[in-house]
A and B are shown apart, each in its own frame.
Chain A
Amino acid sequence: MFSRWNWVACGFCLVLNICSPDASGGLVQSCGHIIPESPVLALGSNFTALCILNESCLDFGNIYASQIIWKIKNRLVPKEQYREINRTVSSVTFNDTSSLATPLTCNILADGQIEQNIYGITVTVGLAPEKPKNLSCIVHQLLRFRYVMTCTWNPGRHTFLDTQFRLRYRWPEEIFPDCIPKDVNNSCTITDIQFFVNTEIWVEATNALGKAKSDPLVVDPIDIVKPLPPQNVSISSGILPTVLQLCWVNWISDAMMTLKFNIRYRIVGDTNWMEVPSEDTASPRTSFSVQGLRPYTEYIFSIRCMKEDGVGYWSDWSEEKTGITTEDQPSKGPPIWRIIDTSHSPAFWTVHLIWKALKPFEANGVILQYEVTVRDKSSLSSPVKKYNVTGTNHTLQLREGTYEVSLIARNSVGASPPSVLLIPASNSKAPVKNLRTLPKHDKLWVGWTAPNSYVLKYVIEWCLVSSSSDCIIEWQIALGDVQGIDLKGIKPFKCYLITVYPLYADGQGSGQSVKAYLKQDRPSKGPTVQTKKVGKAEAVLTWNHLTVEEQNGFIRNYTILYKTIDGNETVVTVDPSKTEYTLSSLTSDTLYTVRMMASTDNGSRTGPDFTFTTQKFGKGEIEAIVVPVCLAFLLIVLLGVLFCFNKRDLIKKHIWPIVPDPSKSNIAQWSPQVPAKHNFSSKDQMYPEGSFTDVSVVEIEADDKKSFSEQDLKPFDLLKKEKSTSEGHSSGIGGSSCMSSPRQSVSDSDEGETTQNTSSTVQYSTVVLNGYRDQTPVQVFSRSESTQPLLDSEERSEDHAGGADSTAQRQQYFRQNGGQDETNTDRPCFERTKQITHANEGDLVGFVQLQISGQSSQPLGLGMEKNTQEAAVSNVLQTCTEGQTVRPETVGENPLSVDEMPKSYLPQTVRQGGYMPQ
């Protein structure tokens, strides 16, 4: 930096000199210079610089000190800081050097205010070095005869300047070469160390602004030695199984420094070091016998050393060496316990003897075998049985009784003391009391209150409770004077069943058990709830207990949370032993969401949501509605059945009317003389009183085969209906009255086909006006319902619109059914009357009965004269005519008078359409 600005300044000078007219003396001649030249200034101090102009420049260029301006870098220094000392010297003063920068230039304003540089200097600002502090030294032993001393110190504040540090040391009569640090400023290493002479050591810091010297450290280097650790450490087994001997080599001579030592050791696998007491190794030595070790145990050793008087530093620990002690006989017998299986027979036991392998420090070697001795104490005469076992369990088949089992472990050196276990016939002694547990970090403390009797020892059994596997028992023996132990290896969040047995000298107490957790957590899942039964205002919820693996702790309670879609959540707490709960006071026909939460001491977990809808009706409500309805229905049905039963004949006839077959009609016999000609003997019998003398009856032979059935009586029923209806309808073609116009057709099947039948049916009817057998003739229509095709031509003209199909259907219908399955609800009374004539007496009786029961409001006199057919028929006809008042209507429809009516029984259509009888 410095040289660069020098070059810059020289460049300015060169330019000025070149421009200068007074260059005769040489190429380089400056017009001025600055004093001091490149100063090093203390930070914060004041500084004054002078710019001195050359006389030659004054004469030639009219350059004077008053024209001088100062600049820091390119920044003009305020003129208040200038002072013109004389016409060739100008000074500038800075009260604080911290405002200075490099370069500081002296310039002049020549003619025309042209600024020209005269000279420039570099200014270095920094601090004087501070006094180095905290000087300390340590002598490191590098090799057997090679030592170096490293001193460190605090160099103090940063000086911003090049500062040199020197570590100096001397004897009173000898001065040694300085130690100059390389790359650092706070430490230095002296390689030529002389011991046993007090050496004065100090540090000097020097820069352009000054020099500082630390306080001297006077020390004999031998007192600050950190020696090398002992080398070639070896370990050998001693005569005793508890002793190991260590040997090593010191790398520092006694002549120079006597040493003391630290010996540390630990068992392999253990992390804790033990140390040999320091007073045992406080003297110079190259070997040491470590005592009190465990037999047959591998140890790791390490040694370090320092000056015997303790002045100086400990060496590092030597490399670790391993040694193993020799075997010794086992120090104690193995802990033994038993599990008795009496499942086969209470009188015979399967005794599983189990014992724990001795710990290494108890086995003191390799256990070669165990010797089990079983003595039956119930029978002194029984021999003692001995077993040699290499494992840690043995199974015996014993008869129920009291046994004493002793166990010893044997290694290559000897046998252990025996462990004795008394197996009594029964655990009749007092158990422990107040069994409890308490978690302690990663251990589970089990405590109990001792029984009143003296207890030899306790056996603590525990096992991990699992829903999927058997409880694998672990056990531990505690001395009789303790009332609590720590169980190790207990897993958190797992349930353990812990049982404590007290063992007495003469027996054994029964076990007391407790369940415990080392640490609890919230359940890993919540209960899955569902409904068992849902009513109108209540719901029975059921759930299964969480498995022990899912519980993670003691379930303290279950919480049921239920709500409607838009309602508040209701919370119910349930005892953890329950698996069912009934929600009451629910709203009917409402969707509920329910979930269940299981809680331990450490939290809760909620199971999945379950939804259900309460019923609209409560229990019995439906029954209360349905049963009466059903009963009513049944009653109605029953009544209907009874009604139908009573009216069965009528119904039958209504459903299966007797359809006359026109093909078998005896039209030829339709003549006025027919009543006389035709010798219907039967009819004579039918009409004994001659009341129907003039009635022309179309006799259908097909019907002859069929006697009056119950269905045949139906028209009478309908007749009554028409009677009742005709009272409202004085007349009418559609009145379906037997007194209606002859053109009025009568359906053979149902009312829906009435029109068709009307068009397709040729009415073979006439009006009988003559009296019968001297009786006053009654205006009676008689007609045939034959669909004889003889009338096709006429009918076609009348019923051309759709009538043909109906006719065809009707013809087919007649062929198929033969008039047996059809019931014409509008069947004319006379035809029915004719049918009645075929009825026997019994039928009539039934008819009369039906009339009485069905239309009691019409007290007809039929039933009074049922003994004679004549009377019955007469009454029927009378009733029919009277009841239906068909006569005036018929008359109205058919204006033919009695006198005008021909005697011959030609069909009506003959007169109207030219029908000619065949």
Chain B
Amino acid sequence: MAAADSPSAALRRRDLCSRGIRLAGKMRADVVDLLDAYVEQQGLDASASVAAVEGVPLAAVERWDEQTGTQRLLENLAAYRAFRALLAQMLEEQREQLGEADAGLGRALAAVLLQVSAFAYHLEELLRLESRGIPGEEGDGPPPPPRLSLFEQKLRGLGVLRELAQWAVRSVRDLRQLAKPSSATGAAPGLAESP
């Protein structure tokens, strides 16, 4: 907290929050566009229901407004680290399946992957400013997903993107909450807002 008290730290924190909010917003927009392209390219139904993706915390959470800033950051960081791994796997599977046939979708996936990585970096920086230790990534990461069929891979990909879009929305709200001057890192945010 000491670091957070200094003016430069406050500016840095505000800058990171602002940039993170815009990044999350752009990431959401890109993911939405990517979802449309993905559904179309993979031949899926946009309304198909997908089970929750394993390893990704749910964006929807109860008592969101009661969470502390650190909690928000930690949950976001966990989620985006998971997304980073999943998107990387999707990108690899995509390349395996289509090769260079659909470079556009691959580039869009890669761009979203970069954004997820960048957002995770923002979160880590914010946690550093909070003087909180950054949880290390699990050594071997999430357990390797079981070998799925091609269709299951497509559905999982659809689920990952949908959840990422959800998280993008939540992340914007989390960071806005954090960006408020009155918000104390450890204090619970106001009750008025909820994701």
Contact A197 B26 (CB under 8 A): no
Contact B29 A197 (CB under 8 A): no
Minimum CB distance partner of B118 in chain A: A197
Shortest beta-carbon distance from A41 to chain B in Å: 44
Q: A835 vs B85: C-alpha distance in the bound complex, in angstroms? A: 182
Contact B111 A197 (CB under 8 A): no
Contact B121 A172 (CB under 8 A): yes
Contact B121 A196 (CB under 8 A): no
**Known contacts A255-B28, A256-B29, A174 near B23 by CB under 8 Å:** no
Contacts of A198 in B (CB 8 A): 19
Instruction: Give residues in B with beta carbon < 8 Å to A.
Output: 19-20, 22-23, 25-26, 28-29, 33, 111, 114-115, 117-118, 121-122
| A220 adjacent to chain B (CB < 8 Å) | yes
Shortest beta-carbon distance from B122 to chain A in Å: 7
Contact A171 B19 (CB under 8 A): no
Contacts of A255 in B (CB 8 A): 22, 25-26, 28-29
Contacts of B121 in A (CB 8 A): 171-174, 197
Q: A145 vs B33: C-alpha distance in the bound complex, in angstroms? A: 11
Please name the 4 residue pairs, one residue from A and one from B, whose CB atoms are nearest each other, closest first. A196-B23, A255-B29, A197-B118, A255-B25
Within 8 A of B (CB), among A241-258: 253, 255-257
Shortest beta-carbon distance from A253 to chain B in Å: 5
Contacts of A195 in B (CB 8 A): 22-23, 26
Contact A194 B29 (CB under 8 A): no
**Known contacts A195-B23, A220-B19, A173 near B117 by CB under 8 Å:** yes
**Chain B contact residues: helix, strand, loop or mixed:** helix
Contact B115 A194 (CB under 8 A): yes
Contact B117 A174 (CB under 8 A): yes
Minimum CB distance partner of B18 in chain A: A196
Within 8 A of B (CB), among A160-194: 171-174, 192, 194
**Chain A contact residues: helix, strand, loop or mixed:** loop
Q: A198 vs B111: C-alpha distance in the bound complex, in angstroms? A: 16
Contact B19 A197 (CB under 8 A): yes
| A487 adjacent to chain B (CB < 8 Å) | no
Shortest beta-carbon distance from A250 to chain B in Å: 13
Contacts of A256 in B (CB 8 A): 22, 25-26, 29
Between B19, B28, B115, the greatest number of chain A beta carbons within 10 A of the residue's beta carbon is seen for B19
| Extra pairs beyond A196-B20, A256-B26 (13, CB < 8 Å) | A172-B121, A173-B121, A174-B117, A194-B111, A194-B114, A195-B22, A195-B23, A196-B22, A197-B23, A222-B22, A253-B29, A255-B26, A256-B22
Contacts of B29 in A (CB 8 A): 253, 255-256
Shortest beta-carbon distance from B171 to chain A in Å: 12
Contacts of A196 in B (CB 8 A): 19-20, 22-23, 26, 115, 118
Between B22, B23, B114, B118, the greatest number of chain A beta carbons within 10 A of the residue's beta carbon is seen for B118
Contact B114 A174 (CB under 8 A): yes
Shortest beta-carbon distance from B139 to chain A in Å: 17
Q: A198 vs B19: C-alpha distance in the bound complex, in angstroms? A: 9
Contacts of A197 in B (CB 8 A): 19, 23, 118, 121-122
29 A–B pairs (Cβ distance < 8 Å), ordered by A: A145-B33, A171-B117, A171-B118, A171-B121, A172-B121, A173-B117, A174-B117, A174-B121, A194-B114, A194-B115, A194-B118, A195-B23, A195-B26, A196-B19, A196-B20, A196-B22, A196-B26, A197-B23, A198-B19, A222-B22, A255-B25, A255-B26, A255-B28, A255-B29, A256-B22, A256-B25, A256-B26, A256-B29, A257-B22
Shortest beta-carbon distance from A261 to chain B in Å: 19
Contacts of B118 in A (CB 8 A): 171, 174, 194, 196-197
Contacts of B26 in A (CB 8 A): 195-196, 253, 255-256
